[in-house]
Amino acid sequence: MMIRVGMGYDVHQLVEGRDLWMGGIKLEHTMGLLGHSDADVLIHAICDAILGAANMRDIGYHFPDTSAETDGMDSKIILKKTIELIASKGYRLGNIDATICAEKPKMNPHIPEMQQCMARVIGCDPDQISIKATTTEKLGFTGRQEGISAYAVALIEKI
């Protein structure tokens, strides 16, 4: 069996007047993330990790922020298409390990729903998707609540 590992990172600015999407679900919060799509940093980091593992560049290459087609796009669509892209090269997802960095809102209560949502999109067991959440102890842009970031590692295997 051939396995490969990829790493992903994403960050978006918090702004008023936008919905906050994380892991494919909408969270109640006074601010949302600014971006060309729905700005779901968790899914974006995961997609970059998956694409990187398959040596298929990044989501900006496949889903450019200059395209009218991707304007306001639901990141679950990006995730589904990412899985289809790696399948075209003969790969399937092994597992994901991801971390969300945010001061507010608290992410931990929403993690099981995020896992379920993304597992449905990917067509995998929720146990293949590990999500953790942390703060930056009020340090940096995350600590000042100017933005949210996410890191992800994905393992893929040749079918």
Residues 55-70: tens digit of each pLDDT: 999 999 999 999 999 9
- pTM recorded for the entire structure: 0.97
pLDDT digits (tens, 9 = 90+) for 74-123: 999 999 999 999 999 999 999 999 999 999 999 999 999 999 999 999 99
Residue 136 is labelled as binding a ligand: yes
Residue 8 is labelled as binding a ligand: no
Residue 10 is labelled as binding a ligand: yes
Sequence ranges of the domains in the chain: 3-158
Query: Does 3.30.1330.50 match the CATH number of domain 3-158?
Result: yes
Residue 141 is labelled as binding a ligand: yes
Query: Closest by alpha carbon to 95, among 2, 10, 3?
Result: 3
Q: Provide DSSP, 46-87.
A: HHHHHHHHTT---HHHHS-TT-GGGTT--HHHHHHHHHHHHH
Residue 70 is labelled as binding a ligand: no
